[in-house]
Amino acid sequence: MLNRHRSWLRWSVSGVLAGLMAWASAGSSQAEEGKSDSPVLGRTITELKASDWQGREHTLSEYQAKKILVVAFLGTECPLVKQYASRLNEIREKFKSDGVEVIGVNSNVQDSLEEIGAFVRRQKIEFPMLKDPDGKIAELFGATRTPEVFVLDSSRMISYYGRIDDQFGVGFVKPKAEANDLVLALSELAASGKVSQPHSPAPGCRIGRYRKVEKSAEVAQVTFSKQISRILQERCVECHRTGEIGPMDLTNYSEVAGWAEMIQEVIHDGRMPPWHASPSHGSFANDRSMSEEEIKLIDQWVAAGVPEGDPSELPEPKKYIAGWQLPKEPDLVVQMADKPYQIPARGDVRYQYFRVDPGFKEDKWLKAAEILPSNRAVVHHVLVFVREKGSFEGLEGERGFLVGYVPGTRVGPYPEGLAKRIPAGSELVFQVHYTPIGTPQEDLTKLGMIFAEPESIKYEVVTTSAVQVRLNIPPGEANYQTAATTPEELPESELLLMSPHMHLRGKAFRYTLVKPDGTREILLDVPKYDFNWQTAYWLKEPLKVPAGAKMYCEAAFDNSEENLNNPDPSARVRWGDQTYEEMMIGYFDLAIARSADREKKAKKSNVPIEMIQAAAKRWDKNGDKLLEKSEVPERWHALFGRLDKNGDEKIDSEEIANANNDSGE
């Protein structure tokens, strides 16, 4: 039935914020570089001369009235820099009365004056921002990463260097900083002239250096034009290009040359391209992992001095559609709200829910759809759910969803004869996860839909899942394991994709198909799950699922201090839709032969019974095992009314057990 390669509607993922910060390295810039000219505490900086982005020259002597100088090496595209730029403003203001001044230095070869100026305006930087055109200032200090700060005392001796604090790092974001290294150093220096901890390793992006090309373009065996551009186009450019979520434009030679060592580092560390499936199980159409040969070519290119080669050998650019990626203008576009949602500069933004009534009077068959955020920089992911009109607004993990978005999503129509069904009278609920990026932002996400004629649809695409809501993760537990099986037997169908979902303590995930005869087949193994990459794994060839099979999912969670993503290792963690709580959902898509009987039996409530049971237990404040309407949040009152069959404004365990037996007729 479905034997074609499917590049349509892929979730090819590039994370936001913490995911993007996987470009950063947690290692000490001194130790890992191994350079003899790395900064030594006590080194005195006698002169510093450079022009700012507006052309005004600055010298060290003009700051002689300042008792302490903070020299901060910054770049325009590094995700960590975007988080810390405004924090440097705050630190500068905090210590102004102590005679502290901050000076920003940009030593990236790939950052132009125009880009630096735009960065200063966008981040509202209040301190001088200098351009280090030949990297001499970075060499003088021994700086290798952005952001990396150096504190000079009144004699201009280096008294502290390293990170600003420990809130943001490699693929993680803490709710708040636990070690305020720079603030501590400035406080101690202002009070006593001494710093108790003079160095903390700085995570961040490598500074793009000028380098000598050791081989000419004519004789170099590996060049950007001939090999490297093709590797990047295949593995990276989908997200790393102008207007997309990935930092830096990897279609441009000068940009790539500046990032060359950073690119090499994240590839060898396995942080890029983002791909977490074990090669031992399954073959996937959207596999982005690089081959050993590709990695070897990148290593050879960097070692040779990143030669450009002959531009005439560049591949034809891939064509990306501006605006909608859909094959034609949408038949219907719905916005999540009437006005944009305001995202703060920092902090934890709870999942936001927006309800939309598209006014469907009859069933609609969705052939293609695209979720389009207006501000991709702050949108981590979006799920759009189909809801019965007038039902509760809150969602704590549906068994399935209509459409999903993650940064880097590529979309297109389903093959002929396949579509998703939206029942008549349904509402759409947008669940949006926002991630602040250091400055106030706004977003107005919308959904574009293309419909098919009902008579043309032979197979219904259904997103379903195995869910485990009975989570009870002990404090400090490094390997809490649990599992879930689909409660109902699966119909004869074909499996299209799998998409595991956990939160910040998620550690590993595995899908196993249990066949009617009891035999088992591992379909997907994700040994190192990463919440920052909400990947859907598309099978190269759809897998035939026999009637009566079930999907069995296993998951492991790390609630220990070793998990740097962990918001609170001392907490006992249970089910919840916030990132500091946990979920265990094994989503997967099936193509099922369409039938009138199946559509007639479609349930009004798409909330799994185990989720209703878990919610009822949580809301039963007095523990009498009777859920009263006054105990239930108002947004759930519509569902409460449906379950309360005898109208006594109380729901007992029997009514909950029969929650999904209502056909709505």
Q: Which residue has the higher pLDDT, 244 or 157?
A: 157
Q: Which of 123-132, 148-157, 355-364, 390-399 has the lowest mean pLDDT?
A: 390-399
Judged by DSSP in three states, 509 sits in strand
Q: Which residue has the higher pLDDT, 414 or 217?
A: 414
pLDDT for 454 beyond 90: yes
Q: What is the mean pLDDT of residues 593-611?
A: 63
Q: Take residue 323 and report the two structure tokens written for it.
A: 């605006």
Percent of the chain at pLDDT exceeding 90: 46
pLDDT for 2 beyond 70: no
Q: Which residues contact 481 (CB under 8 A, 6 or more apart)?
A: 554, 555, 556, 557
Q: What topology is assigned to 25-203 in CATH?
A: Glutaredoxin (3.40.30)
List pLDDT tens digits, range 224-244.
Answer: 999 999 999 888 887 788 766
Mean pLDDT taken over the chain: 83
pLDDT for 20 beyond 50: no
594, 614, 299: which is closest to 458 by C-alpha?
A: 594
Judged by DSSP in three states, 298 sits in helix
Task: Please report the pLDDT score of residue 219 as a whole number.
Answer: 59
| Confidence bin at 15 (pLDDT 50/70/90) | very low
Q: How far apart (Å, rounded) are the C-alpha atoms in residues 100 and 475?
A: 42
DSSP conformation letters of 405-459: E-TT-B--PPPTTEEEEE-TTEEEEEEEEE---SS-EEE--EEEEEEE-GGG--E
pLDDT for 40 beyond 60: yes
Q: How far apart (Å, rounded) are the C-alpha atoms in residues 112 and 134?
A: 12
CB 385 within 8 A of CB 395: yes
Task: Please report the pLDDT score of residue 19 as a whole number.
Answer: 46
| Confidence bin at 500 (pLDDT 50/70/90) | very high
Q: Which residue has the higher pLDDT, 110 or 411?
A: 110
List pLDDT tens digits, range 363-404.
Answer: 999 999 999 999 987 888 898 988 877 665 444 445 778 998
pLDDT for 612 beyond 90: no
Q: How far apart (Å, rounded) are the C-alpha atoms in residues 452 and 347?
A: 42
Domain boundaries, the chain: 25-203, 224-313, 322-457, 462-601, 603-665
List pLDDT tens digits, range 165-219.
Answer: 999 887 777 878 889 999 999 999 999 999 999 999 998 888 887 665 544 445 5
Q: Which residue has the higher pLDDT, 195 or 611?
A: 195
Task: Please report the pLDDT score of residue 122 as a whole number.
Answer: 86
Task: Please report the pLDDT score of residue 330 as a whole number.
Answer: 93
Q: Which residue has the higher pLDDT, 213 or 141?
A: 141
Q: What is the mean pLDDT of residues 286-291?
A: 88
CATH of 603-665, one of 1.10.10, 1.20.120, 1.10.238, 1.20.1280: 1.10.238
In CATH, the number for domain 322-457 is: 2.60.120
Task: Please report the pLDDT score of residue 646 as a whole number.
Answer: 73
Q: What is the mean pLDDT of residues 651-659?
A: 70
- CATH class (in words) of the domain with range 462-601: mainly beta
Task: Please report the pLDDT score of residue 25 as a whole number.
Answer: 41
Same fold, 322-457 and 603-665: no
List pLDDT tens digits, range 303-346.
Answer: 888 898 889 999 998 876 566 778 888 999 999 999 999 999 88
Task: Please report the pLDDT score of residue 55 as a whole number.
Answer: 84
Q: Take residue 526 and report the two structure tokens written for it.
A: 């994700």
Task: Please report the pLDDT score of residue 611 as a whole number.
Answer: 61
pLDDT for 482 beyond 90: yes
| Confidence bin at 409 (pLDDT 50/70/90) | low
Q: Which residue has the higher pLDDT, 213 or 532?
A: 532
Q: What is the mean pLDDT of residues 523-540?
A: 90
Judged by DSSP in three states, 63 sits in helix
pLDDT for 533 beyond 70: yes
Task: Please report the pLDDT score of residue 407 as a whole number.
Answer: 65
Q: What is the mean pLDDT of residues 265-277?
A: 86
List pLDDT tens digits, range 83-112.
Answer: 899 899 999 999 999 999 999 999 988 888
Task: Please report the pLDDT score of residue 213 as a whole number.
Answer: 52
pLDDT for 434 beyond 80: yes
pLDDT for 577 beyond 90: no
Task: Please report the pLDDT score of residue 579 as a whole number.
Answer: 80
pLDDT for 288 beyond 90: no
Backbone φ and ψ of 414, nearest 5° = -65, 155
Task: Please report the pLDDT score of residue 453 as a whole number.
Answer: 94
Angle between helix 113-123 and helix 79-94 axes, rounded to 10 deg: 60
pLDDT for 475 beyond 90: yes
Task: Please report the pLDDT score of residue 266 as a whole number.
Answer: 84
Q: How far apart (Å, rounded) are the C-alpha atoms in residues 177 and 647?
A: 51
Dihedral sign from CA coordinates of 34, 37, 38, 42 = positive
Task: Please report the pLDDT score of residue 241 as a whole number.
Answer: 80
| Confidence bin at 661 (pLDDT 50/70/90) | low
Q: Which residue has the higher pLDDT, 520 or 236?
A: 520
| Confidence bin at 82 (pLDDT 50/70/90) | confident
pLDDT for 663 beyond 60: no
Q: How far apart (Å, rounded) are the C-alpha atoms in residues 411 and 372?
A: 11
pLDDT for 7 beyond 50: no
